[in-house]
Amino acid sequence: MSPAAAGAIGLPRHVAVIMDGNGRWAQRRALPRHLGHRAGAKAVRATVEGCARRGVEALTIFAFSSENWQRPQEEITRLMELFVESIDKEVDELHRNGIRVRFIGDLSRLRTGLAAKIAAAESRTAANQRMTLFIAVSYGGRWDIVEAARRLAARAVTGEIKPEAIDEALFADQLQLAGAPEPDLFIRTGGESRISNFLLWNLAYSELYFCDTLWPDFDDAALDAALRFYASRVRRFGLTDAQATR
């Protein structure tokens, strides 16, 4: 980010979200956890629409982390079923609304049926330009960085690049979100104040917003509150206040 852009504020170009609290939402209603995830899927739909309507360019949602593979098998199975079902149900509408869908993460760990649906959804919506929805599945920030390092190391070994040519821009080009604007606003629902191995590289200068709302309850008013928080921030990118607000 150039100093000239520092301090520019208003609507975030890119919003990244940890959707936490589905399990507790279900527990409070004496429902099984998977019904919390189902309610969470409805909040995803509303948030995608809300962001697109407001002119956000990119939205990244953390649907399943590298660590979530350690959850009980029953919950993993239900979540994977929900992803398949959601793709089946939502892709037409996303496409009609001009949303490009991209999945990030270690997709090699997914069942072939889900991987095929992901590939089809990505290619169907590839030309859409209104907003890009990045869905992080089997994703970990450390995994992303290690993969990038591995790819660059392989290119260095063959002599395609010199180690000293590796800089931040080249490194960022190897990451899962290569080419996307850096997330301006990070939102985590569910009351915890941590990043939990999400976009470790990309969140370097993001404004961090934590709220107690459980993800299934995250509605348009909650999105507005997060966007108001963002609009109230002065982004400095390492500059002084005076430089940033000039």
Q: Which is nearer to ligand FPP, 6 or 51 (CB)?
A: 51
State the amino acid at position 164 in one-letter form: E
**Rounded-to-integer distance, Cα 135 and Cα 94, Å:** 13
Q: Of the two residues 66 and 86, which places its CB atom closer to ligand FPP in the complex?
A: 86
CB 60 within 8 A of CB 177: yes
Residues identified as active-site: 20, 68
Output the smallest distance, CB 46 to ligand FPP, in A.
11
Smallest distance from ligand FPP to CB 138, Å: 12
What residue ranges bind ligand FPP (CB under 6 A)? 19-24, 37, 40-41, 44, 63, 68, 82-83, 86, 135, 190, 215
First to last CA, the chain: 16
Q: What is the closest distance, in whole angstroms, from the C-beta atom of residue 220 to ligand FPP in the complex? A: 17
Closest of 59, 203, 192, 83 to residue 141, by C-alpha? 203
Instruction: Name the closest residue to ligand FPP (Cβ).
Output: 23
Residues 221 and 218: their CA atoms lie apart, in Å, by 8
Could you tell me the two tokens for 212? 């107690």
| 1 vs 203, beta carbon nearer ligand FPP | 203
